[in-house]
Amino acid sequence: MKRGTVVWVDLSDTSPPEMGKVRPGIIVSGTAHNEVLNTVVVIPTSTVAPEILPLRMSVGNFGGKESYAVIPGIRQVRKGRLRGVIGQISLEHLSALDGCLEAYLR
């Protein structure tokens, strides 16, 4: 799986405030790691606005709706939880997402 790929991911079996259900997620783990590990790191997306940098940022339109990456929802998941590829975020969005991740994790 390539870094920046948007996938359907099953995030069920959670408790609030964790994000659950099947939803789009952006793979943020490195492509080389994704090729050999049984897990990937994803950031779930939501259609709930507004953008609140660095916690929630707009990443484009998926499934007919504007989507927002929810940075605090970052999560490692087994590849068996992935349900299909939706697309790829732009390099500009991926770069901005990296900036939000860095700000959030500092």
Token pair for 12: 């069920």
Residue 21 — very low, low, confident or very high, per pLDDT cuts 50/70/90?
A: confident
What is the SS3 assignment for 19-73? Answer: CCCEEEEEECCCHHHHHHCCEEEEEEEECCCCCECCCEEEEEEECCEEEEEEHHH
* 86 burial level (CB within 10 Å; 0-12, 13-18, 19+): middle
Which residue range forms the structural domain that includes residue 18? Answer: 5-105
Q: What is the pTM of this model?
A: 0.91
Q: Can you give the CATH number for the domain in which 52 is found?
A: 2.30.30.110
36-92 pLDDT, tens per residue? 999 999 999 999 989 999 999 999 987 688 999 999 999 999 999 999 999 999 999
- Number of structural domains found in the chain: 1
Token pair for 71: 């940075």
